[in-house]
Chain A
Amino acid sequence: MLKVNNIEVLYHEVILALKGVSLDVPSQGIVALLGANGAGKSTTLKAISGLLKHENGRVTEGSIEFLGERIDRSSAEEIARLGIIQVIEGRRVFPHLTIEQNLKVGGHLRKNGGDISAGLEMVYQYFPRLKDRRGVAAGFASGGEQQMLVIGRALMARPKLLLLDEPSMGLAPLLIKEIFEIVTQLNRQERIPILLVEQNAKLALSVAQYAYVLETGRVVMDGESAKLRENPDIRDFYLGLTDLGTRKSFRSIKHYKRRKRWVS
């Protein structure tokens, strides 16, 4: 459905953020994008959604195709119209609008009113908590509610592909669990394919069927989640487990050597 072919991304014409990233998102299921801070996960999402152009970045090499159409030159608005909706990291609600108004802005691309109320109904069904709080200014909603709101807001845009950037950031474990349950439900019931960016590798590998690992702007590994979970490097660096499945001791220095092999 979405094909990213060996893209290179430059910020401000000098900073090379991605150096050849390729990935495939099938028309159903969840694909995860893992990696440490600064690996280029968010940049990859922004390259796909076109928001990159607003941060003075651009795709200089390679191509991005969605449903057979090249989109790496299109504007963010056109890409959103095609059905790729990104949930930006950091719970970017419209703080001065109420929760319901936020959702209505999400439905901006739905032109008629009946459509919008049907959308609202659907979002409230998945996130009943938003319905109770719909009159509250979004800036005053709790962190969990804001995360639900930005996901719900994206749903209002009727995405054909949802790009989720770090939905777990800064939330309590119980809330994270709740949100991820809803996300998998959305994926199954509404048949929305999801490209998920997460720092929490364990969580991401548990919901995604396939995953890519990014390191300093390159894909260094990819595979089925089940396989990646068994991979010794992933276990070591991302899941914090040793081969025996016990907690890792940080005294061992060995992992530096293995890491070096990846980067080279």
Chain B
Amino acid sequence: MRLLLELVLSGIMVGSIYALVALGWTVIYKCSGVLNLAMGELTLIGAYVCLTYYQWGFPFPVALVATLITGFILGLVTERLFLRRMIGEPILSIIMITAGLSFFFRAVVGFVWGTDTVVFTPPVFPQEPLRFFGMVFGQVYLWSFAAAILLLLVFVWFFARSRWGLAMQATADDETAALSLGVSAKWVYALAWAIAFMAAGVGGTLLGNINGLNISVGYLGLLVLPAVVLGGLNSVPGAIVGGIAIGVLQNLSDVYIGPLTQGGVKEIAPFVFMIGVLLIRPYGLWGWVRIERV
């Protein structure tokens, strides 16, 4: 029982990081209908940027904030260079562009930072684990959880309250109507990419702190797909719950089903789960069901 609780709790903590990346994915999908296949590479870039700042001697919180700012700028630049001219083109073409971007970014990361696993040295978070009620947690998990939740709250506030957050939601709902009110669709798309970059960057950094950083962190982008689908592709709360659910699911399947197999259950379980969800609820948990008045 204690093992179960421990697995669930640490699953929630890792899941909150997935949630952050899933949120980035959702934001782009919601605003422009594009599945961003380069999401994993965005996490990779963010993580390496943060690592570089940290190695330059910035304290970790400062490095993290600097990563957010860099991510914001990179997002705007990416949108301007690669996606702006695609506005109005078929969605599939834009998705292909993001696939191309994913290879491009991956190559850039290999080129600039190499392919060896690197770790944050000195370690950012204290090494000795914390114990509650006999359960053991690494401090890095707790801090990551706190950071992820804080950032998620900021994003949720941003969408529900702020001027640009509302404008983004409005554009997602009805682009022409938003345009008629003077909302700049170009800025909305640029902001979506900026937010995706920021969220992914922090997610990548936190994961890099847990497991060390190498090019395989980029596969996270694919891993959050089940999280996003579970929540419903265009729901911000859905992405958060989906991310956390996938974290827990991974932990549980690893410990309870893993020993019965040759391994790899942890990687497959989210996708099996995703297919199950799609069969029963094609919209995901909170995806947009079309509002129809009767």
A residues whose Cβ falls under 8 Å from a Cβ of B = 49, 51, 54, 76-77, 80-81, 85-88, 92-97, 101-102, 104-106, 108-109, 111, 137, 139-140, 142, 150, 153-154, 156-157
Within B154-200, which residues are at the interface with A (CB < 8 Å)?
163, 166-167, 169-170, 172-185
Determine whether the beta carbon of B291 is less than 8 Å from that of A77: no
Determine whether the beta carbon of B179 is less than 8 Å from that of A54: yes
Within B43-60, which residues are at the interface with A (CB < 8 Å)?
none
- With a CB–CB cut-off of 8 A, which chain B residues contact A93? 174, 177
A69 to chain B, nearest CB (A): 16
Determine whether the beta carbon of A105 is less than 8 Å from that of B183: yes
* Cα distance, A86 to B183, chains bound together (Å): 13
Nearest 5 A-B pairs (CB), nearest first? A80-B182, A139-B291, A94-B173, A92-B177, A105-B170
Within B174-232, which residues are at the interface with A (CB < 8 Å)?
174-185
The verdict on A88 contacting B177 (CB below 8 Å), with A96-B288, A140-B293 known, is yes
Q: Identify the closest chain B residue to A50 (Cβ).
A: B179
A-B contact pairs, 9 of them (CB 8 A): A49-B180, A51-B180, A76-B180, A81-B182, A85-B182, A95-B173, A96-B291, A108-B182, A140-B291
B191 to chain A, nearest CB (A): 13
Determine whether the beta carbon of B179 is less than 8 Å from that of A76: yes
Within B238-294, which residues are at the interface with A (CB < 8 Å)?
288, 291, 293
**Which listed residue (A77, A92, A137, A139) contacts B182, Cβ 8 A?**
A77
Determine whether the beta carbon of A80 is less than 8 Å from that of B180: yes
Contact count band on B: 20 to 34
* Cα distance, A104 to B173, chains bound together (Å): 15
**Which listed residue (B167, B174, B181) contacts A157, Cβ 8 A?**
B181
* Cα distance, A159 to B126, chains bound together (Å): 58
B residues whose Cβ falls under 8 Å from a Cβ of A = 88, 163, 166-167, 169-170, 172-185, 288, 291, 293
- With a CB–CB cut-off of 8 A, which chain A residues contact B184? 77
Q: Identify the closest chain A residue to B180 (Cβ).
A: A86
The verdict on A88 contacting B170 (CB below 8 Å), with A108-B163, A137-B291 known, is no
- With a CB–CB cut-off of 8 A, which chain B residues contact A87? 180
Determine whether the beta carbon of A88 is less than 8 Å from that of B167: no
- With a CB–CB cut-off of 8 A, which chain B residues contact A77? 179, 182-185
* Cα distance, A108 to B288, chains bound together (Å): 24
- With a CB–CB cut-off of 8 A, which chain A residues contact B176? 51, 54, 88, 92
* Cα distance, A106 to B174, chains bound together (Å): 13
- With a CB–CB cut-off of 8 A, which chain B residues contact A142? 293
- With a CB–CB cut-off of 8 A, which chain B residues contact A139? 291, 293
* Cα distance, A49 to B176, chains bound together (Å): 11
* Cα distance, A109 to B181, chains bound together (Å): 8
- With a CB–CB cut-off of 8 A, which chain A residues contact B166? 97, 101, 104-105, 108
- With a CB–CB cut-off of 8 A, which chain B residues contact A88? 176-177, 180
* Cα distance, A108 to B184, chains bound together (Å): 10
A77-B184, A86-B180 known; 4 new pairs, CB 8 Å cut-off, are A92-B174, A101-B169, A108-B166, A140-B291
* Cα distance, A156 to B173, chains bound together (Å): 19
* Cα distance, A258 to B142, chains bound together (Å): 82
- With a CB–CB cut-off of 8 A, which chain A residues contact B293? 139-140, 142
Residue picked from A54, A93, A104, A105, most chain B C-beta under 10 Å: A105
Determine whether the beta carbon of A96 is less than 8 Å from that of B180: no
- With a CB–CB cut-off of 8 A, which chain B residues contact A96? 169, 172-173, 288, 291
* Cα distance, A157 to B169, chains bound together (Å): 17
B64 to chain A, nearest CB (A): 29
* Cα distance, A140 to B178, chains bound together (Å): 19
* Cα distance, A140 to B179, chains bound together (Å): 22
Residue picked from B88, B170, B177, most chain A C-beta under 10 Å: B177
- With a CB–CB cut-off of 8 A, which chain B residues contact A111? 163
* Cα distance, A139 to B169, chains bound together (Å): 14
A66 to chain B, nearest CB (A): 14
- With a CB–CB cut-off of 8 A, which chain A residues contact B180? 49, 51, 76, 80, 85-88, 154
Q: Identify the closest chain A residue to B184 (Cβ).
A: A77
The verdict on A108 contacting B183 (CB below 8 Å), with A88-B177, A92-B176, A97-B166 known, is yes
- With a CB–CB cut-off of 8 A, which chain B residues contact A137? 291
B90 to chain A, nearest CB (A): 13
The verdict on A109 contacting B182 (CB below 8 Å), with A97-B169, A139-B291 known, is yes
- With a CB–CB cut-off of 8 A, which chain B residues contact A95? 173-174, 291
Q: Identify the closest chain A residue to B292 (Cβ).
A: A139
